[in-house]
Structure 1
């Protein structure tokens, strides 16, 4: 999903459409501003920006990205995330005071909860926390089978998609997680699919009555339609042909249409663009790094490996400044895109995304490696003493040993 978090898409939609979103959505990753000098960031948290709107989100993405890159996240960082969970299993965007129960008036956040589930499931050892969160997510499923950003809010493509990813990460079958009326998350996603033809033909809108930033919701929905999460399987060497847009009678057909829409949108420049925010002095559209990375992940989920190459190459060349300014979630998203497109996150346009991400939080736990010099020395000692013993007592038993390296 997006660097800036799925709930940030809601904020962008409200700004573009001039409508009010019930919940306080997260700012974009680029707005990861440094807190005031008096603010003290909690130990274990990734990033130096104010965590009020995206603390759990960026932490979850950072941990999941480290795991994807083969790193073992620091226990302190994982503990910070588990400490954010409310008693009922849900997560808010950020809890400054974790010693007190979650306040009833503070809205819980389906996006943050779903991201946390994926991170905790990947790092392992947190089955109870994952189970509690999944139970909570199921309890706030809307009658149409989808989810809104906050419980009780109208379902949207972005929130529904990231919850699908959480369900899959927890070992659930998303299509079998149904609301009381029998609707599944895939039923909800189909309601956001646009018919072929026209400007947004084949795309997924944010909500039926609020198109929003269509590329963003389309990338999210294509991933969700395939039952995937923030980290998708790379398509490998075999490549699927770009599907032709057709009637979206099934979720598979709708996903194909959405992927084809993204391919068309990326064809000219290799990147997506975001319209200027209302009131901006600059009316020109700007490159949308986060959604371009989302699109790479979505195309990989569709099996379009060949189609990921152009946007991935653009990200390798152009995303350095954006990631540096935006913080840990941005580096995480680039790692997800590199993984999906078969690129090396440690040599991404000449940059090491993993090192850059690690520098923004607690250092990952070191994975102890076998030291051949130490092991050989130990073996030599045991051989010597065994041979000496055999020579002294006439017993032909030689002792040799090799200590196993510890993790």
Structure 2
């Protein structure tokens, strides 16, 4: 997943922090996206990807950047990996970002399940940080909710995006998500994920909502859940174009299990993308132009979701739209945006090194420390060697874009995978 946006449009993930108090209903001011956030007043660490203020998305964007480089067959710079591991707290959790890593994490520093799950996926892929991964997985298990899912910050109600990205982390670390059950209730992450699925018919039929009481931007949460339902993470390999693609585009009212719900989620995304090839996002609060704009991050996440479901026709059409239109968005938004496009290209059979004329891998690398060298085929086995020859590179959650909590009764906007983050 992710699982958690997108995704999301500073990018599925230039994330906005949704504090526990906001989740519980307190008013919160909108958080600026990474694309519009000014550079920080103090110099950034040399190992960090991106130049915008990392306060809300530092760990997220770093994790996606490392993961994308790995899928492209590159070995990330040691100082980039070291920067990420240094962000971890003694309890195993990762915050969204902490500027001072010379001491212990403050008790009041919010722990971030999405950042932790993304870091687990990145550090597992790059290798050499097993103790950090083990501690992070242990922390994630310790904050699992009774329904089997996770919230953005511990203590809140479970949401589809957070649950999805944690499923991806558990799978990456060698765990069986279905066997990770809550201490109270004995529920698995898959049990939780199914509770976010909407029945066919009516508004958002077949989609996965962020939370039942707070639907949010359902394309974002749907894309994350569809990927996680297969036990996949942020950078999954594509599935064969067979079974799920052959089921057609209609929502299956008879579907009762998670596999069926994921198929319905893919059908929802297919329908949402069919007319223009891309998703739309509502304007930012207070924007002069009230017309919806293309949602690049969630469209990329939707491409990944359809590709892993074997729905290659619509995935290919939407990937082609991204190839013709998303380069400017990625350049403005930064490392996580490039990573999202790389994941989409890898999943749907595109070439991330020639993405509508843009070399996404080179563009991503230019936002951070240069990789040490190409990953050797022997380091990852014959399977990775085969994948590199086939894909010549990489594949939302998204990143997570932006979370907005309004005053009681005003509603809530979840846009971006996320999900956050840029």
TM-score, scaled to structure 2: 0.82
Instruction: Tell me which residue corresponds to 1:60.
Output: 63
Instruction: Tell me which residue corresponds to 2:204.
Output: 200
User: Is residue 295 from structure 1 mapped to residue 302 from structure 2 by the alignment?
Assistant: yes
Q: 1:367 to 1:286 in 2, by over 3 A?
A: closer
Instruction: Tell me which residue corresponds to 1:375.
Output: none
SS in 2 for 1:31: coil
Contact 1:9 1:213 in 2 (8 A): no
SS in 2 for 1:30: coil
Aligned 1:272-311 pairs, distance under 5 A: 272-311=279-318
Instruction: Tell me which residue corresponds to 2:122.
Output: 119
Contact 2:89 2:104 in 1 (8 A): yes
Instruction: Tell me which residue corresponds to 2:275.
Output: 268
Cα distance in 1 between the residues matched to 2:161 and 2:372: 33
Question: 1:157: Cα distance to partner?
Answer: 0.4
Q: 1:368 to 1:313 in 2, by over 3 A?
A: closer
Q: 1:45 aligns with which of 41, 45, 48?
A: 48
Question: 1:234: Cα distance to partner?
Answer: 1.3
User: Is residue 142 from structure 1 mapped to residue 145 from structure 2 by the alignment?
Assistant: yes
Instruction: Tell me which residue corresponds to 1:234.
Output: 238
Aligned 1:158-197 pairs, distance under 5 A: 158-180=161-183, 181-197=185-201
Cα distance in 1 between the residues matched to 2:168 and 2:142: 17
Unaligned runs of 5+ residues in structure 1 are: 370-407
Cα distance in 1 between the residues matched to 2:337 and 2:280: 16
SS in 2 for 1:307: helix
Unaligned runs of 5+ residues in structure 2 are: 377-422
Contact 1:27 1:53 in 2 (8 A): no
Q: 1:120 to 1:76 in 2, by over 3 A?
A: same
Instruction: Tell me which residue corresponds to 2:229.
Output: 225
Cα distance in 1 between the residues matched to 2:375 and 2:190: 44
Cα distance in 1 between the residues matched to 2:75 and 2:367: 15
Q: 1:135 to 1:111 in 2, by over 3 A?
A: same
Q: 1:30 aligns with which of 32, 35, 48?
A: 35
Contact 1:74 1:362 in 2 (8 A): yes
Instruction: Give every structure 1 segment of 4 or more consecutive aligned residues whose post-TM-superposition deviation is greater than 3 Å.
Output: 5-11, 17-22, 24-29, 236-239
Deviates more, 1:301-310 or 1:76-85: 301-310
Q: 1:351 to 1:328 in 2, by over 3 A?
A: same
TM-score, scaled to structure 1: 0.85
Count of aligned pairs between the two proteins: 364
Cα distance in 2 between the residues matched to 1:289 and 1:351: 16
Cα distance in 1 between the residues matched to 2:162 and 2:171: 14
Cα distance in 1 between the residues matched to 2:24 and 2:282: 14
Question: After superposition, what is the alpha-carbon deviation per residue over 1:271-313, rounded to whole angstroms, capped at 9, x for unaligned?
Answer: 0001123322221111000000000111112121222111100
Question: 1:236: Cα distance to partner?
Answer: 4.2
Cα distance in 2 between the residues matched to 1:131 and 1:18: 30
Cα distance in 2 between the residues matched to 1:25 and 1:173: 37
Higher normalized helix content (fraction of residues): 1
After superposition, the CA RMSD in angstroms is 2.4
Q: 1:255 aligns with which of 255, 258, 262?
A: 262
Cα distance in 2 between the residues matched to 1:193 and 1:352: 37
SS in 1 for 2:145: coil
Contact 2:146 2:187 in 1 (8 A): yes
Instruction: Tell me which residue corresponds to 2:406.
Output: none
Greater relative CO, 1 or 2 (CA 8 Å, sep 6+): 2
Question: After superposition, what is the alpha-carbon deviation per residue over 1:181-226, rounded to whole angstroms, capped at 9, x for unaligned?
Answer: 1111111111111110123000011100001111111111111111
Q: 1:194 to 1:368 in 2, by over 3 A?
A: closer
Cα distance in 2 between the residues matched to 1:278 and 1:114: 30
